[in-house]
Amino acid sequence: MMREQLEDLRTRVLAELEQVDSLSALEDLRVKYIGKKGELTEILKGMGKLSPEERPVIGQLANEIRQKLEQELEQKKDALEKAQLEARLQEETIDVTLPGRPVATASRHPLTQVIEEVEDIFIGLGFEVAEGPEVETDYYNFEALNLPKNHPARDMQDSFYITEEILMRTHTSPVQARTMERKEGKVPVKIICPGKVYRRDDDDATHSHQFTQIEGLMIDEGIRMSDLKGILLTFAKEMFGPDQKIRLRPSFFPFTEPSVEVDISCVMCGGEGCRTCKQTGWIEILGAGMVHPRVLEMSGYDPKRYTGFAFGMGPDRIAMLKFGIDDIRHFYTNDLRFLEQFNRL
Ligand code: FA5
């Protein structure tokens, strides 16, 4: 009786196993028939009723059947797992002949490119790069540069004030005073300082309320105006080409005496006269001069012993000339169509 039950169980399990097509169905089958509470266990509960002669025979048969079924189930499991892996590999096959998706790469902003080019030229001439804060005190932005409170020349550079004494710097010149203080009267001082500056200017094609400047400062014994001219001419030739000329026009800055505006021969027409240079053949690129004795004195340098020159240029305008850009606002509106033209891969 029990023998038939066991053999019937084996036949059924083997037949059902044929139909199983998933790992979860296989597990269900295992639990149902040979699991702890499965049908085999149920049948074996009847062992107690068997005669002592029958018991070992049936016991052995039950073990054989269990082993056989476990083996069959294991084999089926391997087969199913293999098939599943195959299917997955098939599904996830990569077609290496498909064109790749382009990787979006960032590039350096055109202004950064120009600033770095200017830095490289001056580093080649022995200058060091210095930096200073964009949120500046009235003292460094104006007073230490010989622009006392209520001085009319302050009108040339209206700013954004945070408090009465703290403002967004209007030029990079405060770094001059900061550097001289840091150097504690030692020479030589030879720095250039690039950075952002802010002015309450009306925005138009050539003016922005936030723009960049690069300050230059050189102090030592015996520095003369001809040194300034030589350095700036070298810079202009390096930046715009060997035929560049420069022109110095008298001007006024409270922190330099004498002061000049420096023009380069027009890079568009070579000095012939065109729209860009308003038919003059010249384009203004920076302000400069010999450091005012009072500025030297305020920052701890003896003006009887030391002299120096300083200049401040606008890289925005230089970049406009270099790349032929007609509106300064393009630099600050973050339009990728504009910026991507300056990718250097
Ligand atoms: C100054 O800012 C002086 N600190 C420069 C200087 C330094 C003179 C050291 C002497 C010694 P100015 O205001 O001219 O000077 O500005 C210098 C340059 O900044 C200009 O030639 C121009 O290229 C640029 N610039 C000025 N205002 C703007 C603006 N609103 N938008 C874009 N560029 C500007």
The confidence score (pLDDT) of residue 181 equals 94
Residue nearest to atom 9 of ligand 1 (CA): 311
Q: How does pLDDT run across 308-343, given as a tens digit for each residue?
A: 999 999 999 999 988 889 899 999 999 999 998 888
Cβ within 8 Å of residue 337, ≥6 positions away:
none
Q: Which of 135, 139, 146 is nearest to 169 (CA)?
A: 135
Q: Is residue 14 domain-shared with residue 145, that is, in the same domain?
A: no
Measured distance between the N- and C-terminal CA atoms of the chain, rounded to whole angstroms: 85
Cβ within 8 Å of residue 310, ≥6 positions away:
173, 176, 215, 216, 217, 218, 255, 256, 288, 289, 290, 291
Q: b/e map of 71-101 (b: 16 or more CB within 10 Å)?
A: eebeebeeebeeeeeeeeeeeeeeeeeeeee
Q: Which of 311, 312, 305, 309 is nearest to 186 (CA)?
A: 305
For residue 97, tell me if it sits in a domain. Answer: no
Q: How does pLDDT run across 182-230, given as a tens digit for each residue?
A: 999 999 999 999 999 999 988 888 889 999 999 999 999 999 999 999 9
Q: State the Cα torsion 107-108-109-110 to the nearest 10°.
A: -110
Q: How far apart are CA 217 and CA 71, in angstroms?
A: 88
For residue 204, tell me if it sits in a domain. Answer: yes
For residue 105, tell me if it sits in a domain. Answer: no
For residue 261, tell me if it sits in a domain. Answer: yes
For residue 104, tell me if it sits in a domain. Answer: no
8 Å CB contact between 202 and 141:
no
Q: Is residue 134 domain-shared with residue 49, that is, in the same domain?
A: no
Q: How does pLDDT run across 150-195, given as a tens digit for each residue?
A: 888 888 888 899 999 999 999 999 999 999 999 999 999 999 999 9
Gap from CA of 314 to ligand 1 centroid (Å): 6
Q: Is residue 42 domain-shared with residue 189, that is, in the same domain?
A: no
107 vs 199: which has the higher pLDDT: 199
Q: Which of 173, 206, 251 to mutate to test the pocket of ligand 1 (most atoms within 8 A of CB)?
A: 173
Q: Is residue 178 domain-shared with residue 36, that is, in the same domain?
A: no
Q: Is residue 120 domain-shared with residue 77, that is, in the same domain?
A: no
For residue 99, tell me if it sits in a domain. Answer: no
Query: How many independent structural domains does the chain possess?
Result: 2
Ligand 1 pocket residue status of 199, Cβ below 6 Å: yes
The confidence score (pLDDT) of residue 225 equals 97
For residue 180, tell me if it sits in a domain. Answer: yes
Q: What is the mean pLDDT of residues 106-134?
A: 95
Q: Is residue 183 domain-shared with residue 137, that is, in the same domain?
A: yes
Q: Is residue 76 domain-shared with residue 135, that is, in the same domain?
A: no
Domain of residue 292, residue span: 110-342
For residue 208, what is the domain's CATH number? 3.30.930.10
Q: Is residue 325 domain-shared with residue 187, that is, in the same domain?
A: yes
The confidence score (pLDDT) of residue 116 equals 96
For residue 102, tell me if it sits in a domain. Answer: no
The residue out of 91, 125, 141 marking a domain boundary is: 91
Cβ within 8 Å of residue 176, ≥6 positions away:
145, 193, 215, 217, 255, 291, 295, 299, 310
